[in-house]
Amino acid sequence: MSGVQVSTTINGDVEEFVCHPGETLLDVLRNRLGLIGAKEGCGTGDCGACSVTVDGELVCSCLVLGAEVEGRKVTTVEGLADGNKLHPLQEQFLDNAALQCGICTPGFLVAAKALLDRNPDPTEEEIRYALAGNLCRCTGYDKIVRAVDAAAKDLRAEAKKAAKKKAAKKAKKA
Partner 1 sequence: MAEQTYTDQEFKVIGTRPRRPDGVDKVTGRARYGADAFAPGQLVARVLRSPHAHATIKKIDTSKAEKMKGVKAVITSADLPDLTEGNRGNFDILENCMARGRALYHGHAVAAVAAIDEPTARKALKAIKVEYKVLPHVTDVDAAMADDAPIVQPHVQQDGKPSNIANVSQFGHGDVDGGFAEADVVIEKSYKTEQTHQGYIEPHACLASVGPDGQGELWVTTQGHFTFRTVCAQLLGMDIAKLKVTSSEIGGGFGGKTHVWMEPLALALSRKANRPVKLVMGRDEVFMGSGPTCSTSMDVKIGAKKDGTITAAEATLRYQDGPYPGPWGMLGAMTSFACYDLPNVKTVAYDVLVNRPKVAAYRAPSAPMAAFGVESTMDLVAEAIGMDPVDFRIQNAAKEGTRASYGPTYGPIGIGPTLDAVKNHPHMQAKLGPNQGRGMACGFWFNFGGQTCTDLNIGTDGTVNLTVGTVDVGGARASMSLIAAEELGISYDKVKCNIGDTASLGHNDTTEGSRGTFSSGMATIFAARAAVDVLKQRAALMWEIDVDDIEWKDGAAHAQGVAHSNLAPLTLEEIAKKSPQTGGPIAGHNEVVADGAGVSFASHICDVEVDPETGSTRVLRYTVVQDAGKAIHPAYVEGQFQGAAAQGIGWALNEEYVYGEDGRLQNPSFLDYRIPVCSDLPFIDTEILEIPNPNHPYGIRGVGETSIVPPLAAISNAVSNAVGVRLDHIPMSPPRVLKAIKDGNGA
Partner 2 sequence: MRYEAPTSSKEAAKLLAGTKGKAVVLAGGTDLLVRMKMGHVEPDLIVDIKRIEATQAIKKTASGFKIGAGVPGATMGRNSALKKAWPGVVEAAELIGSDQIQGRCTIAGNLCNASPAADSVPAMVAAGAKAAVVGPNGRRTVAVEKIPTGPGKTSLKKGEMIESISLPKKAPRSGDAYLRFIPRTEMDIAVVSAGVNLTLDNKGVVKMARVALGAIAPTVVLVEDAAKAIVGSKLDEEALSALAAACEAACKPIDDMRGTIEFRTEVAGVLGRRAAKLAYERAGGKS
Footprint of partner 2 (CB under 8 A): 1-2, 4, 20-22, 24, 43-46, 48, 51, 53-54, 57-60, 62-65, 67-68, 70, 111, 114-115, 129-130, 132-134
27 binds partner 1 (CB under 8 A): yes
- What residues form DSSP beta bridges with 82? 85
Q: How far is the CB of 39 from partner 1 (least distance, A)?
A: 7
Q: Are 38 and 101 in contact (CB under 8 A)?
A: no
Laid out side by side, the sheet with 13-19 consists of 13-19, 4-10, 73-75, 51-54, 57-60
SS3 at position 44? coil
Question: 120 φ, ψ to 5°?
Answer: -70, -15
Task: Give the one entry of partner 2, partner 1, none that residue 65 binds, where binding means its C-beta sits below a cut-off of 5 to 8 angstroms depending on kind.
Answer: partner 2
Least Å distance, CB 7 to partner 1, is: 22
Name the residue nearer to partner 1 (CB basis): 104 or 152: 104
CA of 17: how far to CAs of 4, 31, 34, 76, 95, in Å?
8, 11, 12, 17, 38
> Which residues bind to partner 1, rule: CB under 8 A?
1, 20, 22, 27, 30-31, 35-44, 46-47, 49, 76-78, 80-81, 86, 90, 93-97, 99-106, 109, 125, 127-129, 131-146
